[in-house]
Structure 1
Amino acid sequence: MPFTASLKYNVSCLFLCLLLQSCLVQQIDFSPYQESSYYQQTLQALEHQGPTITTADTLQVGWAKVNMTPPRHNPLAGYGKRRGMKYTSVHDSAYVRTFAFNNGKSQAYLVALDLLITPMAVTEALEKVYPNLGLQPEQVYLTATHTHTSFGGWGKKLMGRIMAGKYDRKIVQATVDRILESLVLAKANQQPARVGYGEIYAAELVANRLTGDAAALDTTMRFLKFEQKGGATALFCSFSAHPTILPSMQPILSRDYPGALVDSLETQVDFAAFAAGAVASHQTKAPHGDSFSSTEAVGRQLASKLLAAEKSVPMAYQQTLGYARVPFELPATQWRSGDTHRFAPFLFRTVFGNYGAYVSSLQIGSMVLLGVPADYSGEYMKQLQPAAQQHNKEVVVTGFNGGYIGYITPEEHYPLKKYETRDMNFYGPYTGTYLTEILQRLLRLHEQK
């Protein structure tokens, strides 16, 4: 090849490589989110799709649990390195645990799943059948225990299959069927009930795995107590310690410490349920390493603290019931490829999919549950708790409400070269501040209406 032709060929190849790189890798956007259109869209959604709140007759509460464990030799969910590994035995079964609420004017449900997340495929399927029960999606508050050793088979895109094994439509449909069954059973069990709120402190069981900062922690377990007129009692609780005690490559299905916790509670009360709190950057301090001895010890210790505290919780009949599901608009994805660059959004959609996100809420009297589509950092509770108290509310934050937008950690941690801040930060440095502001605004709306 003549020199001139060779030079043109090399220049063309270089240009093509540069063009391809510019398409695949882009600069991270550090623009303030307050200047964005997506922020304004979320504010408009808050204004027009804010909470539905009614005050009527004495609140009736019911509950139910349904076993939803698939047969053995289905995939586990929680760790990519498993590569779809299937479980060969069941240590403790996975359940859906549901509360039903009705004050004569409106009804709502709280659904806690013994799963890694509330899968998007399950959420989509549920929304198609809610009308058969006379429900809208905002009336069903979804959450999960976030155990990393429950069943998978519900992830469609590449990353879903890496984290949860091969997609299985039958598993999704069976999960949906068990959730619907629990809604019906919980509603049938409703009675007038007194309600109370309490807290316990368990700093000895949780650590900040992101920074090691002993002060940057949410050490509070928050709980709601329900006492039916007939005498039956139920507890719903939430804690920030990640349920990742058990070995990642152990082919045994388990609920991790949340399972041991609710089992211990149910030796003293009629029903108990757990939801993961603000778990991002928080890990469990396991006293006996990655073993079932640790899950039992952590579960029993939390249960002992809670059972001691619930006896003195003030109880009262309530008439107020509220709920909301507000679209949470997002910027273009900023899945990072370095300190200053990100992969192009189309690459992210190819690997993870393209799902909508929303924040959800459930109000019972003065108690407000806030649901987020993420691993949300407990470090933000120091902002949300005072905001709730300012509006005469108690607040409980739970994760995994039917969507997923990655790990949400304070923006000062964004430069850290850690899994949570680099690999699992999908939407840029200000997502946590943005999401926390929207949660604070949603809390205010629950006070105003």
Structure 2
Amino acid sequence: MNPKNPERYKYLYLLLFLLLLTACVVRPLDRTPYQQTDYYQETISDLQETPAMVSHGDTVQVGWAKVNITPPAGTPLAGYGKRMGMAYEQVHDSAWVRTFAFSNGKTEAYYVALDLLIVPMQVLQELEKVYPELGLKPEQVYLTATHSHTSFGGWGKKLGVKLMSGKYDAELVERLARQIVQSIKLARQHLQPTKIGYGSTSAASLVKNRLLGDEDNPYYADRHATRDTELRFLKFEQQDGSTAILSVFSAHATILPSDDPTLSRDYPGVLVDELEERVGFASFSAGAVGSQSTVYFEGDTFESTENVGDRLAKLLRKELLHVETDYVYTLGYGRVPLELPEPSWRISKGLRLAPFLFNSIFGEHPAHVTSLQVGDVVFLGAPADYSGEFVAQIRQQALAQGQQAIVTSFNGGYIGYITPDKYYNLKEYETRSMNFFGPYGGSFLTEIMLRQLQQHQLRK
């Protein structure tokens, strides 16, 4: 060191420190094809070791129940980071958990729909502690959410989750788990032989592909073809005249603005409430909503939620008249662990933050692909905002198997937005900010879901 020029060395040391820091927190993007990775091979092995359970028994019995889960005023809203954990001040329409119970004498399974942004990971952990008390395994409970961005939060521990859901409240999480268990018990108490039918109707005018909505987007011309436009549902009819509807639609419940401190279920609440004016019970779950938005014309208002919910209800009720129901005897379920690559949260086209930084912000949570089979209808649950563009491929395989497939998102894990691989380099919210696990997430997750679907193939 030259003692006559100490400043020169001070800057050199600073430069070396910055270079070392950069080397610690930044990594090159890994573009190894997913079929050549350990996480892919491990997931395939898990799929083979934990196959879906499908049983053919007596007539499938169905029961249903709902429990109000609305927390006290002052609880944060969930759905938009720019709210900064804003608490709700009033209730426009309450939040519920709505549960269907299924049994064919050999096994039982449950379908749970929460009026929440997602099924929170912390709530799933609490539920898995109490499932044994109910005589259930985790794979027997199929979890979904409405994905309303104006329902309540308070269920996220890590900083990245808190930005979307507000300050963590352990008591709220425990209470919500108890309420879900209560709904399971109530639905179980009301099991009856039930005729079941599948229906769907086009609602193409109410959904758009927001990822491709910019005219400068190279895929803009595909924006109308790359949507999941069907409103799908199951119809249940019991011997005592009781009826119920389970509905799924692939459009984000994001009509209402982020700056309104009012709790609401957005358009799914209107749809369910209107259906329950004609049937005894109804539920709604978000389908493959990744990149798909609702089309509305009355602004970010409750008038728009009323309009969209009303139109969907009318479409469903019209199709309901043509749906035939019958007794079914097959019931199945599955849950395969989804092994994941290292997080690839990008800061540029070819660079990502080190995995430890991502995990410190969002946490490390297990992810699964889930499934539920009722007769010849198979539900597939993704731990993500799963893109509607994949549904056609899944539906095609289901039809080849002599079945119907219904895809839902938010099954108790969350791995970000899952979109087709070809969009990976687009500088969009879904493909840059919310793509957490690299360039092949779409192909990888879809392959696993198709393999899970294949395990439910009906065998004569």
Aligned to 2:406: 396
Following superposition, the deviation at residue 176 of structure 1 comes to: 0.8
Distance 1:269 1:3 in 2: 89
Deviation per residue, 1:285-343 (Å, 9 max, x gap): 11211100010110011011101111211211011000001000100000111111100
Residue identity opposite 2:183 in structure 1: S
Following superposition, the deviation at residue 5 of structure 1 comes to: 4.7
Residues 243 and 258 of structure 1 are in contact (CA less than 8 Å); yes or no, is this contact kept in structure 2?
Answer: yes
Residues 155 and 168 of structure 2 are in contact (CA less than 8 Å); yes or no, is this contact kept in structure 1?
Answer: yes
Following superposition, the deviation at residue 4 of structure 1 comes to: 6.0
Of 273, 282, 285, the residue aligned with 1:272 is 282
Following superposition, the deviation at residue 269 of structure 1 comes to: 0.6
Distance 1:204 1:57 in 2: 41
Aligned to 2:218: none
Superposed, which structure 2 residues align to 1:184-203 within 5 Å?
A: 184-203=185-204
SS for the counterpart of 1:324 is: strand
Distance 1:156 1:64 in 2: 30
Do structure 1's residue 387 and structure 2's residue 397 form an aligned pair? yes
Aligned to 1:440: 450
Of 251, 269, 281, the residue aligned with 2:291 is 281
Following superposition, the deviation at residue 272 of structure 1 comes to: 0.4
Do structure 1's residue 314 and structure 2's residue 324 form an aligned pair? yes
Of 244, 258, 261, the residue aligned with 2:268 is 258
Following superposition, the deviation at residue 11 of structure 1 comes to: 2.9
Q: Percent identity?
A: 55
Residues 402 and 458 of structure 2 are in contact (CA less than 8 Å); yes or no, is this contact kept in structure 1?
Answer: no
Residues 23 and 344 of structure 1 are in contact (CA less than 8 Å); yes or no, is this contact kept in structure 2?
Answer: yes
Aligned to 1:367: 377
Residues 376 and 458 of structure 2 are in contact (CA less than 8 Å); yes or no, is this contact kept in structure 1?
Answer: no
Superposed, which structure 2 residues align to 1:204-353 within 5 Å?
A: 204-212=205-213, 213-353=223-363
Residues 191 and 230 of structure 1 are in contact (CA less than 8 Å); yes or no, is this contact kept in structure 2?
Answer: no
Aligned to 2:42: 41
Following superposition, the deviation at residue 448 of structure 1 comes to: 6.0
Residue identity opposite 2:327 in structure 1: Y
Do structure 1's residue 427 and structure 2's residue 428 form an aligned pair? no
Following superposition, the deviation at residue 429 of structure 1 comes to: 1.0
Distance 2:193 2:65 in 1: 16
Q: Rate the CA distance shift 1:3–1:317 in 2: closer, same or farther, 3 A.
A: farther
Aligned to 1:52: 53
TM-score (norm 2): 0.96
Deviation per residue, 1:187-245 (Å, 9 max, x gap): 11110001110111011101111002111111111111111122111110111110000
Residues 240 and 276 of structure 1 are in contact (CA less than 8 Å); yes or no, is this contact kept in structure 2?
Answer: yes
SS for the counterpart of 1:447 is: coil
Following superposition, the deviation at residue 432 of structure 1 comes to: 0.7
Distance 2:3 2:236 in 1: 85
Aligned to 2:124: 123
SS for the counterpart of 2:119 is: coil
Aligned to 1:167: 168
SS for the counterpart of 1:178 is: helix
Distance 1:448 1:43 in 2: 21
Distance 2:231 2:29 in 1: 36
> How many residue pairs end up in the alignment?
449
Aligned to 1:154: 155
Aligned to 1:408: 418
- The alignment yields a C-alpha RMSD, in angstroms, of 1.1
Distance 1:130 1:423 in 2: 35
Distance 2:334 2:5 in 1: 67
Residue identity opposite 1:278 in structure 2: A
Residues 102 and 110 of structure 2 are in contact (CA less than 8 Å); yes or no, is this contact kept in structure 1?
Answer: yes
Superposed, which structure 2 residues align to 1:57-76 within 5 Å?
A: 57-76=58-77
Residues 66 and 99 of structure 2 are in contact (CA less than 8 Å); yes or no, is this contact kept in structure 1?
Answer: yes
SS for the counterpart of 2:457 is: helix
Following superposition, the deviation at residue 10 of structure 1 comes to: 3.1
Residues 116 and 144 of structure 1 are in contact (CA less than 8 Å); yes or no, is this contact kept in structure 2?
Answer: yes
Residue identity opposite 2:206 in structure 1: L
Deviation per residue, 1:229-279 (Å, 9 max, x gap): 221111101111100000111000000000000000001111000000000
Aligned to 2:32: 31
- Segments of structure 2 that go 5 or more residues without pairing to the other structure are 214-222
Residue identity opposite 1:166 in structure 2: K
Residues 203 and 219 of structure 1 are in contact (CA less than 8 Å); yes or no, is this contact kept in structure 2?
Answer: yes
Q: Rate the CA distance shift 1:146–1:5 in 2: closer, same or farther, 3 A.
A: same
Residue identity opposite 1:151 in structure 2: F
